[in-house]
Chains A and B, each alone.
Chain A
Amino acid sequence: MKQAWRKYLAARAPRYTSYPSALQFSTAVDDKVYQEALSRVSLYEPISIYVHVPFCKQLCWYCGCNMRVENHYDRALDYVDSLIGETRLVSAALAGRGRPSSVHFGGGTPNYLETDEIARILDAIECEFGLTDDARLAIELDPRLIKRGHLAELARLGFSRVSFGVQDFDPDVQLAINRVQSFELIESCVCDAREAGIEDVSFDLLYGLPRQTPATFAATIEKTIALGPDRVSIFGYAHLPAALPRQRMIRDRELPDTDGRAELSLMADEKLVAAGYGRIGFDHYAKPGNSLFSAACAGALRRNFQGFTDDVATTMIGLGASAISFASGVYAQNAKTVKQYAACIAEGRLPTERGVVRTERDEAYAKLIAELLCQRDADLEEAGRILSGGEIDNIKQCVMPFVRDGVVTFDAARIRMAPGARELSRAVAAAFDPYAGAAPALARVV
């Protein structure tokens, strides 16, 4: 990366998995607003379903997710009943509208649940929303909880995509984050998945973890390449110990600095690309032939709460505690704690706690930012149909420093990311995003 660009790596920017981001959510959006938004979904509109399983067996110290360590499986069973209850409530509000294009189980740890429970949730989704054989089923898995035959069971349920939370292969780094899992364990999980006929295997890796050095992370990337996942996501660890007490277990002095983080990220990028992976968005990689790779080539890449995706759906139905939905221009987030969430379902009420209604102006910014992040090419002329001339001028002015440094180019009425600058697309977006300036603690660009 060019020396002049490095200063942008320390910038803080939203992850843009939604726009406006969750920082703009308020209690103005409640169950009635969400219910009304669901009633405006059109008849055959593709919908993407996300199921949140907030339980884990053990705490990972880096984690920023909504999760809790749960030692009583009975409580998970109660939660599954609530999930099924919510499925029915949402389905009643949709009244037959919408068609699921994908179902994604995330967490926490979805495989904290036994396969029987996953099957029950899936059955409820299938009976309430209807699923076809071409709907894609994906699940995030903690390798440490995978037992013999587990992946074959998931494949039988129709899961065709699994992502393993690998993070880092180095034993010392694993100790520092309280997530110890051997290379052999991951290797056997990948073999099981392949044997079960699961075509799409993904690894989640993290850089910026304590005790990571270029040497240890290079070894992690080499081991990843050796196991040959179809996709790899490499996220930067966001160290926010003030907000997340569990992260206080991580020693600040063991963390790589901004330059160190950039080095890790760029080295991983180089190695994965040399191994034949294609760059997807700013933090995903996929093998040619993988559907995500094809979508990126076709300009059909999108961004949603799961990151970069080839899912065609704009409408998202989030089920479970803290899950976020997006329907008819409304973001709606469910109650965050399992207790509050379950109480709403027991009352027969959609568990919406907060959210935001996207304005036409938000919509224009959302489109610009999505284009910049996914296609690296944003159409200002199109945005000008909604935004005023003054706003467009302001956007141009905000990105001027990036133009001077060659990070972006202006081409007629478009903003284009320069080759090799994809890591900075979030920083460019944040420069003109009217919400970003006012936002408090944001994650670093790298």
Chain B
Amino acid sequence: MEQVERIMAHRTVPQNKAILKEGEPNDCLYVIVSGSFRLTKYLEDGRRQVTGFLFKGDFFGVRACDESAYTAEALEDSLVCRFPHAFLEEISTASPGIKDRLIARGQTEYHKAQDHIVLLGKKSAEERVLSFIELVGKSVGATADEDGEGRVIPLSMPRQDIADYLGLRLETLSRSLASLKKKGVLRDIGRKSLVLSG
């Protein structure tokens, strides 16, 4: 592990910059030190699908490949650590299972795909939206709001990305959020954060 940490190269990724592009080769494993990323993929009909969001402590580029299956873009100015797969292979002779031990600390794009499938299986728009908020809360950690009665969930992604990810129209996302607030599930709706009750 020490050896791994020594070679870790920190790299800043400015907002909207892609660190991994669909169809291009990838030979590094990345871990997010700070910030957040959006995973997207172009569908056969030319539309872009948001397939996941990654936060601090999450990994991507878990496998080296000639053609990445997705694009990873920074949602805000972020910091990542990169490990060349060749290097990880090399040290795994000395320390078997090093890659798994690294990844065990966080989630990968594969975990995110599971989350996505579960979300898309929800039967109502409101359920999808609420599950998404809770999922983000679990990933980034919620903080208490001013009077300590709500949990603030920061949202680094634009509304359109959330709608795309949930398979909903922007209108439906806004309507669902408004309805959740009306029901008292949400205390406040901000552009960059939401406040969950209790």
Contact = CB atoms under 8 A, between A and B. Distances in A.
Interface of A: 43-44, 99, 119, 122-124, 126-127, 130-133, 135, 156-158
A133 B124 CA distance: 18
B121 to A, nearest CB: 9
B151 interface: no
B175 A157 contact: yes
A157 B176 CA distance: 11
B168 interface: yes
B124 A123 contact: yes
B interface bracket (residues with beta carbon within 8 Å of A): 10 to 19
Contacts of B168: 126-127, 131
Interface stretch (B6-14, B39-47, B94-102): B39-47
Given A123-B124, A126-B172, 12 more contacts: A43-B44, A44-B43, A127-B125, A127-B128, A127-B167, A127-B168, A130-B167, A132-B169, A133-B163, A133-B169, A133-B170, A156-B175
B43 A126 contact: no
B105 interface: no
Interface of B: 43-45, 47, 122-125, 128, 163, 167-172, 175
B169 A127 contact: no
B44 A131 contact: no
Contacts of B171: 133, 156-158
Please classify the interface of chain B as helix (H, G, I), strand (E, B), loop, or mixed, using the class held by over half of its residues: loop
B167 to A, nearest CB: 5
A387 B150 CA distance: 71
A131 B172 contact: yes
B123 A158 contact: no
8 contacts: A43-B44, A124-B124, A127-B125, A133-B163, A133-B169, A133-B170, A135-B169, A157-B175
B43 A127 contact: no
A410 to B, nearest CB: 40
A122 B168 CA distance: 11
B171 to A, nearest CB: 4
B124 A99 contact: no
B1 to A, nearest CB: 42
A158 B128 CA distance: 19
B124 A127 contact: yes
Nearest to A131: B169
Contacts of A156: 171, 175
B38 to A, nearest CB: 17
Nearest to A88: B123
B123 A127 contact: yes
B45 A44 contact: yes
Nearest to A99: B45
Given A127-B125, A127-B167, A130-B167, A158 B45 contact: no
Contacts of A124: 123-124
B127 to A, nearest CB: 9
Contacts of A126: 125, 167-169, 172
A126 B123 CA distance: 10
Contacts of B124: 123-124, 127
A77 to B, nearest CB: 17
B155 to A, nearest CB: 19
A130 B128 CA distance: 13
A119 B175 contact: yes
B76 to A, nearest CB: 24
B163 to A, nearest CB: 8
A130 B120 CA distance: 10
Contacts of B169: 126, 131-133, 135, 158
Nearest to A123: B125
Nearest to B45: A44
Contacts of B47: 132
Interface hub of A119, A124, A133, A135 (most chain B Cβ within 10 A): A133
B122 A127 contact: yes
A99 B43 CA distance: 12
Contacts of B123: 124, 127
Contacts of B163: 133
Contacts of A132: 47, 169
Contacts of A135: 169
B154 to A, nearest CB: 25
A290 B57 CA distance: 51
A131 B125 CA distance: 11
Contact of A44 (B44, B125, B128): B44
A156 B171 CA distance: 7
Contacts of A130: 167
B100 to A, nearest CB: 32
A46 to B, nearest CB: 9
Contacts of B125: 123, 126-127
- The listed residue with most B CB atoms (<10 A of its CB), out of A43, A123, A157, A158, is A123
Contacts of A158: 169, 171-172
Nearest to B176: A123
A436 B128 CA distance: 50
Contacts of A119: 175
A43 B46 CA distance: 13
Nearest to A42: B44
Contacts of B170: 133
A315 to B, nearest CB: 14
A44 B42 CA distance: 12
A249 B169 CA distance: 46
A381 B131 CA distance: 57
A361 B79 CA distance: 63
A423 B125 CA distance: 46
Nearest to B122: A127
Contacts of B45: 44, 99
